[in-house]
């Protein structure tokens, strides 16, 4: 075995050990509480999860929830990036949008959900809520990226009469890249939480949030925990895929001067 294989095996072993440690803690709490409604047994939850993944309805719910997160995040990415960019370049634009962003950030999600329930159909409420949670983060990150662009590089480009399109792609986009990635990773996690919360309250037909709601109504803690685990799992999976995607697009060179 090579050194890198040994390192990967060590890391995997460590992660499994940590997972087992927390499962043991969960089991200990379960044994201590001795109440399946308050804390279900981990093995029972895992066995229910195993049953759920074999059901078509589970995947349909999951797919609908993922598509809502995707729609909300994409909307926030497009609008947040465009408006954040404009706000960074134009003071007037910033002054106009900044109070709106502050208001969105300060308003409780519940208020938005209740208002959205009046405005939209139940399936669209989670998308709207996901967008509202994600938009201020992306807007702020892009605005910060633009305002932190290296002025000296812009001056250099101006002296050399570099065309605007080139300045945009070679300076601005490169400078805001880390801010965009960090914002993107943040909103993926938050988008999940917001979407599922909105689904619980808006109760669309196909949604993980609706299944959580059902579990609450029927006091089925095993289902509640099993669905929650599935959300955590999918969220981590998507986040990892995105991290790998961005790590791959970094394109750093390995050449160096010794």
Partner 1 sequence: MSVKIENLNKAYGNLQVIKNFSYTFQDDKIYCLFGPSGCGKTTLLHILAGILPYDSGIISGLENKKIAVVFQEDRLLPWLSAEENIKFVINDKHFDAEKYLEAVGLKEFRKFQPRHLSGGMKRRVAIARALAYQGQVLLMDEPFKGIDEELKRKIMDYILKTKSSGQIIIFSTHNLHEAKYMAHEIVQFE
The smaller minimum CB distance to partner 1, of residues 117 and 153, is found at 153
The smaller minimum CB distance to partner 1, of residues 98 and 182, is found at 182
Q: Is the CA virtual torsion 112, 137, 226, 57 positive or negative?
A: positive
Burial class from Cβ neighbours inside 10 Å (0-12, 13-18, 19+) for residue 14 reads exposed
Burial class from Cβ neighbours inside 10 Å (0-12, 13-18, 19+) for residue 186 reads middle
CA dihedral 97, 115, 199, 213 (to 10 degrees): 140
- State the minimum distance, in angstroms, from the CB of residue 159 to partner 1: 5
- State the minimum distance, in angstroms, from the CB of residue 161 to partner 1: 7
The smaller minimum CB distance to partner 1, of residues 15 and 166, is found at 166
The smaller minimum CB distance to partner 1, of residues 74 and 157, is found at 157
Please check whether residue 158 is in contact with residue 171, taking contact to mean a CB–CB distance below 8 angstroms: no
From residue 111, how far is each of 8, 119, 122, 129, 257 by CA, in Å? 46, 12, 15, 10, 57
The smaller minimum CB distance to partner 1, of residues 56 and 253, is found at 253
User: What residue has token string 């986009």?
Assistant: 173
> How far apart, in whole angstroms, are the C-alpha atoms of residue 223 and residue 227?
6
Please check whether residue 146 is in contact with residue 171, taking contact to mean a CB–CB distance below 8 angstroms: no
- State the minimum distance, in angstroms, from the CB of residue 180 to partner 1: 14
- State the minimum distance, in angstroms, from the CB of residue 175 to partner 1: 9
Residues at the interface with partner 1 (CB under 8 A): 152-153, 155-163, 166, 170-171, 174, 253, 255-257
Burial class from Cβ neighbours inside 10 Å (0-12, 13-18, 19+) for residue 167 reads middle
- State the minimum distance, in angstroms, from the CB of residue 152 to partner 1: 5
Please check whether residue 158 is in contact with residue 40, taking contact to mean a CB–CB distance below 8 angstroms: no
- State the minimum distance, in angstroms, from the CB of residue 171 to partner 1: 7
The smaller minimum CB distance to partner 1, of residues 75 and 157, is found at 157
Token code pair at residue 82: 């465009």
- State the minimum distance, in angstroms, from the CB of residue 246 to partner 1: 14
The smaller minimum CB distance to partner 1, of residues 106 and 254, is found at 254
């Amino acid at each position: 075995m090579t050194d890198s294989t040994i390192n990967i095996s060590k890391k995997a072993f460590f992660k499994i050990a940590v997972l087992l440690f927390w499962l043991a803690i969960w089991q200990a709490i379960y044994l201590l509480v001795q109440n399946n409604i308050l804390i279900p047994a981990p093995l029972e939850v895992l066995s229910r999860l195993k049953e759920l993944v074999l059901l078509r309805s589970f995947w349909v719910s999951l797919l609908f929830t993922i598509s809502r997160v995707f729609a909300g995040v994409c909307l926030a990415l497009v609008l947040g990036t465009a408006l954040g960019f404009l706000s960074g370049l134009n003071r007037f634009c910033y002054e106009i949008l900044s109070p709106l962003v502050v208001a969105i950030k300060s308003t409780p999600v519940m208020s938005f959900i209740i208002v959205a329930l009046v405005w939209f159909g139940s399936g669209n409420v989670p998308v709207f809520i996901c967008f509202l949670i994600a938009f201020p983060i992306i807007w702020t990150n892009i605005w910060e990226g633009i305002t932190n662009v290296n002025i000296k590089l812009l001056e250099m480009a101006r002296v050399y009469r570099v065309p605007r399109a080139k300045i945009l792609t070679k300076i601005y986009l490169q400078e805001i890249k880390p801010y965009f990635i960090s914002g993107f990773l943040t909103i993926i996690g938050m988008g999940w939480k917001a979407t599922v919360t909105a689904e619980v309250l808006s109760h669309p037909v196909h949604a993980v949030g609706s299944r959580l709601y059902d579990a609450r109504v029927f006091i089925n803690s095993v289902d509640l925990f099993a669905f929650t685990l599935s959300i955590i799992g999918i969220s981590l999976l998507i986040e990892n895929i995105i991290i790998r995607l961005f790590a791959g697009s970094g394109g750093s060179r390995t050449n160096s001067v010794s």
